[in-house]
Amino acid sequence: MEVTYLTAINQALHEEMRRDENVFMMGEDVAELGGAFKVTDGLLAAFGEDRVIDTPIAEALIVGAGVGAAILGMRPVVEMQFGDFISCAFDQIVNTAATLRYRHGGRAACPLVIRAPSGAGVHGALFHSQNPEAWFTRVPGLKVVAPATAYDAKGLLKSAIRDDNPVIYFEHKRLYRSIKENLPEGDFTVPIGVAELRQSGRDLSIITYGGTLHQCLDAASIVAREDGLSVEVLDLRTLLPLDREAILATARKTGKALIVHEDRLTGGIGGEVAAIIAEHACESLDAPVRRVAALDTHTAFSPSLEEFILPNANKIVAAIRGLAAY
């Protein structure tokens, strides 16, 4: 049976809470309501109010309580109802959770997962559309993942829950019900820190993650049909730590690299990926590294303005053609 991205996350939570009694869920409306998007639906009935906890609207409190529980041996999964509001918990994440193991000389762990529904394309406007992953990809002690498929959504969440370090898990809202996939029976995980080659190609490489993966695959299909171009598509999946070997391998193979993400262009993780390629694979390049990303502005509520701001398949097609012709 095909499973949606949302259901895959829900399954992972159910399975990990059954597997380990130290795993519990905490956040705004995650219990009785089942989450704003119904991601945590059924958890309260299955595990009770001691393990599925509704909290006040206070992200710093949610993450701070999660850190405390993690230090004491629990494995909390906390939810930011919208990824935008993770900024309210910034201090707890970067100054407390991320530094804890280092401050204690490796003698303490912080097995905390922070789920953050993020991304635009759903007309959420200013406070319900952001992609804040780049704020955290420069913080030692954190791991940051961004699954783009139902399989990875389930497997990466399981790996995150079992990890002894704080993991920020960005799930793209637009993917919740828009993609489906047949998942294998039984327990499986997806390793953190390992990219996945979604499509092999010879003419140029696209490096992407999260909400833009499927746009990139659509664009690659269009240029293959209309232009005869063979495009390789690499899905990073994990943003911290980056799979540097996979990034360099695809750049060296095709000699042309296009980085695509929904986050804003300036300061996005694409700049770091471009620097890695420029520093370590420059001799293999036949063209400058190029990027497609959201404009450096706030996300608009107007559907037409939102579309103008965000990357899409047509913009990616144009970038592919320009890079291929270089």
Instruction: Could you list the beta-strand ranges (E) of the chain.
Output: 2-4, 23-27, 52-54, 75-79, 113-118, 143-145, 167-172, 180-182, 196-199, 204-208, 231-235, 238-240, 257-264, 290-294
128: annotated active-site residue = yes
Please determine whether the domains at 2-182 and 196-324 fall in the same fold group of CATH: yes
Provide the β-strand partners of residue 294: 264
Q: Domain limits of the chain? A: 2-182, 196-324
What's the confidence (pLDDT) of residue 279?
97
Q: What is the assigned CATH class of domain 2-182?
A: alpha beta
Phi and psi for 276 in degrees, rounded to 5? -60, -45
Place of tokens 């296009």: 258
Cα angle vertex 136, ends 303, 54, to 5°? 75
- pLDDT average per 10 residues of sequence, the chain (326 residues): 95 98 98 96 97 97 98 97 97 98 94 97 92 97 98 98 98 96 95 98 98 98 98 98 98 98 98 98 97 97 95 98 96
What's the confidence (pLDDT) of residue 1?
76
Q: The dihedral of CA 18, 24, 27, 28: what is its sign?
A: positive
The CATH number fitting domain 196-324, selected from 3.40.640.10, 3.40.50.920, 3.20.20.150, 2.60.40.420: 3.40.50.920
Query: Rounded distance, CA 246 to CA 196, Å?
Result: 8
Shortest CA distance to 181 belongs to which of 217, 208, 149? 149
On whether the CB atoms of residues 277 and 285 are closer than 8 A, the answer is yes
The pTM (predicted TM-score) of the whole model is 0.97
Shortest CA distance to 253 belongs to which of 271, 267, 233, 225? 233
Which is catalytic among the residues 14, 104, 128, 298?
128
